[in-house]
Structure 1
Amino acid sequence: MSRRTAAKTPRILVVALRYLGDVLLTTPLPHALRQHYPGCEVDMLVFKGTESMLQNNPDIRRVYTIPERPAREEILALARQLWRRYDLAVVPQPGDKPHLFGFVAAPRRIGLVSTERSHSWWKRLLLRHALSVDGITHRVRENEQVVQMLGVPSARTVIPPTGQIAPEAWAEKLSPYLHGTAPFDPRQPFAVIHPSPRWRYKRWHTAGWASLMGELRQQGLRLLLSGGPGEAESRYLDEILAALDAPTRAAVIRIQGCLGLGELADLLHLARLYVGPDTATTHLAAACGTPTLALFGPTEPRQWGPSPPDGLEPPWDQRASSQVRGNVVLLQEPFRACVPCQQEGCERHRESHSECLDRMAPERVCQEAVAILRRQPGGGDAVPAPPAETQP
């Protein structure tokens, strides 16, 4: 797309039919396009249920959604809605549906394709410029390479959502979730703990979370326990809470399923620490600039390691006991050559255990969390203990 075209206020559609974390890591594209083509209008197409990751994004004019498994009528309705409404479609993923919607939406298209010619030949025919993926390049870097085909020099700035919640509003906003614990004061140090990923094979063990939360409470932090609304996640958080001693339990506010992603992002901006496994919320914390401790097992960091707000430099290594990029510390337990295997756990299904996470010692994680706190301004000072539990 030339500068002359850009002067006519081009309309661009970015297709991101993936999970929540992928949608977040696609936000550098509209941001870079808006900077490179001043005045252009950028819309996005995402799966229904992931649009909250784009809440109040200043670079995006409109968000279209479609179910992850749409009916034929839903596909046709969206196709009619998109038909040639755009000058350019950007398709930063090799799947079939994204490329078909890109073809419907715009006469010019660029995007990613698989290296397997038998799967990608027809997509290459549909694209003005095609880029093959190698399966290990980080999502942010993949997306950046796509728009570089347009002459856009860089696309690394991840834009988190926002619920536009003022810091002083949090005490009242969290008051319904105290359940007998002391009021929340956002001016006092707190950590956000998100133990439960979407799939079991990315999960650390209960004993580890209980040990970590006890250590953080002793460091004087209030603990905000986050999680998705699903039943499996609820049961896992129940299990963790049951393993806590009474003083630690009194320091916990359970915010599972209580906040939208934009609201959670606003809260993460204020936190002294975030700890979580490979999950969308961990990517969100990293993008917010929150000091983040990410616990990785089978997942390949080179492709999926959390990205600091301004991108990864240098990229994550494939395996290391501990590595740091910007505000993010990533821990692995590479006790065997198979780590990371990029498989669904040791049993190769989503409800499998992962020995590399089962072997990750609580002492390691606690030590790293305390080290992150101490590296912050004033981190060496004594932090007051959280208030004791109040009587109902």
Structure 2
Amino acid sequence: MSSPFFASRPPRSILVVVTRRIGDVLLTTPIVRSLKAKWPDTPIDMLVFRGTEGVLEGNPDVRRVIAVAQRARFAERFADARRIWRRYDLACAAVSSDRPRFYTWFAGKKRVGLVDPERVNWLTRFMLTGTALNQHGSVHTVNSTLALATVLGIPPVPQVVPPAVVDEAQRARLEGRLGYVPSRQPLIALHPYPMFAYKRWHVDGWARLIDWLRERGFAIVLTGGPAQDERDYAQQVADVAGGAVINLVGQLSLAESAEVMRMAKLFVGPDTGATHIAAATGTPTIALFGPSDPVRWGPWPCGWPAGVDPWALRGSARHGNVYLLQGEGACVPCRAEGCFRHIESPSECLTGLDVRRVIAAAAEMLALQ
């Protein structure tokens, strides 16, 4: 397949812009892989918000990551843009908003981007050489982003690329911190804390799941970020569970967390970036979903084909290495920020999620039935 944008020669350099959260950056890696598969000798850089670049650590498709401030005055944004002025043969706005289009217009001699259908106007046509409609209301994020491949005339490669530790000494130190021998006791990785309360399960559920897993001979490791609230929640889970729990919350980079997930026999987590990483490593993964839209945001199973959405709007299901376990209720998924419509709101579909359902899913994924 030849690209209508680069029919005579490949682009000499490419920039992909994803100025959003960690999960958004991760779910953009399939379009990066598609670009690399088409033009293997072309270096690809990514421009992301500072604090999200860790999800690209060890990514073999990315030459360099440019990190910019999320909250910046216009003068600082303009200075960032000037530094990349027309440095790339091709620039891609891989999320649909004004800011990535701004950077893309500055950076690329040719420019493509995702645009919400209602935002297609003279300005977007001026800024972008080619546009892909962002079908955010009806298709998975991976498939939506891969619409850029169609515009570029290149084959889509629907592979989410997780971060990785590439230094063997760092890997050895990580295994030492786990304090167990994998061949002697299999590992289960749990990620109990999402950024927002409305995506949260409950401490008692995590503790009872840990008890059930330990009774069957598994070692338990907790993963999570450095925020104090996250550390406190994980410690509460460990305290209520009692016994041996390897609590590494706040101690690992995203790449190191991904390595722990690769070692694990099973990962369980809520709707958060870590769960997407776990699914991408190929580890059997249970995703606990409540108000979030699984069609759009369910973890992408390893080996899933392009153009097919893995998840229905309602109901639990297993596809490949991912079991999406959805809370129950007539309103599920409401696609809102919890029952009270703010990020610190509880969600009854998750606070009421019976641990027996999670244990049954774990038994299936671990082939213990």
**TM-score, normalized by the shorter chain, greater than 0.5:** yes
Partner of 2:191: 194
Question: Could you say if the C-alpha distance between residues 161 and 94 of structure 1 is closer, same or farther in structure 2, counting changes exceeding 3 Å?
Answer: same
Q: Which structure has the larger Rg?
A: 1
Offset at residue 173 of structure 1 (A) = 3.3
Deviation string 1:55-80 (CA, Å, 9 cap, x unpaired) is 12111111101011123342122111
RMSD: 1.9
Partner of 1:357: 350
Offset at residue 257 of structure 1 (A) = 1.2
Question: Could you say if the C-alpha distance between residues 120 and 272 of structure 1 is closer, same or farther in structure 2, counting changes exceeding 3 Å?
Answer: farther
Partner of 2:310: 315
Residue 318 of structure 2 is aligned to residue 324 of structure 1: yes
TM-score computed with the length of structure 2 as normaliser:
0.93
Offset at residue 128 of structure 1 (A) = 1.6
Question: Could you say if the C-alpha distance between residues 140 and 327 of structure 1 is closer, same or farther in structure 2, counting changes exceeding 3 Å?
Answer: same
Q: How does 1:55-66 map to 2 (within 5 A)?
A: 55-66=57-68
Offset at residue 139 of structure 1 (A) = 1.1
Offset at residue 235 of structure 1 (A) = 2.1
Deviation string 1:18-71 (CA, Å, 9 cap, x unpaired) is 111111111111211111123112111000011111112111111101011123
Query: What secondary structure is seen at the aligned counterpart in 2 of 1:243?
Result: helix
Offset at residue 138 of structure 1 (A) = 1.0
Structure 1 Cα separation of the partners of residues 106 and 45 of structure 2: 15
Counterpart of 1:3 in structure 2: which amino acid?
A
Structure 2 Cα separation of the partners of residues 290 and 111 of structure 1: 32
Partner of 2:294: 301
Question: Could you say if the C-alpha distance between residues 25 and 168 of structure 1 is closer, same or farther in structure 2, counting changes exceeding 3 Å?
Answer: closer
Residue 271 of structure 2 is aligned to residue 269 of structure 1: no
Partner of 2:201: 204
Partner of 1:173: 174
Structure 2 Cα separation of the partners of residues 334 and 121 of structure 1: 44
Decide which moves more: 294-303 or 230-239.
Answer: 230-239
Q: Is the 8 A contact 1:194 1:281 kept in 2?
A: yes
Structure 2 Cα separation of the partners of residues 202 and 39 of structure 1: 41
Structure 2 Cα separation of the partners of residues 208 and 45 of structure 1: 39
Structure 1 Cα separation of the partners of residues 304 and 49 of structure 2: 24
Structure 2 Cα separation of the partners of residues 261 and 41 of structure 1: 23
Offset at residue 174 of structure 1 (A) = 5.4
Partner of 1:384: none
Deviation string 1:235-276 (CA, Å, 9 cap, x unpaired) is 21222122214xxx22x1000011111111122111100000
Offset at residue 124 of structure 1 (A) = 2.8
Partner of 1:387: none
Residue 152 of structure 2 is aligned to residue 150 of structure 1: yes
Structure 2 Cα separation of the partners of residues 169 and 87 of structure 1: 37
Residue 98 of structure 2 is aligned to residue 102 of structure 1: no
Q: Is the 8 A contact 1:190 1:273 kept in 2?
A: yes
Q: Is the 8 A contact 1:298 1:344 kept in 2?
A: yes
Query: What secondary structure is seen at the aligned counterpart in 1 of 2:135?
Result: coil
Question: Could you say if the C-alpha distance between residues 121 and 360 of structure 1 is closer, same or farther in structure 2, counting changes exceeding 3 Å?
Answer: farther
In structure 1, runs of 5+ residues without a counterpart are: 178-182, 381-392
Aligned mate of 2:280, from 287, 306, 318: 287
Structure 1 Cα separation of the partners of residues 207 and 280 of structure 2: 26
Q: How does 1:113-132 map to 2 (within 5 A)?
A: 113-117=115-119, 121-132=122-133
Aligned identity (percent) is 41
Decide which moves more: 287-296 or 107-116.
Answer: 107-116
Partner of 2:114: 112
Q: Is the 8 A contact 1:114 1:120 kept in 2?
A: no
In structure 2, runs of 5+ residues without a counterpart are: none
Structure 1 Cα separation of the partners of residues 275 and 85 of structure 2: 36
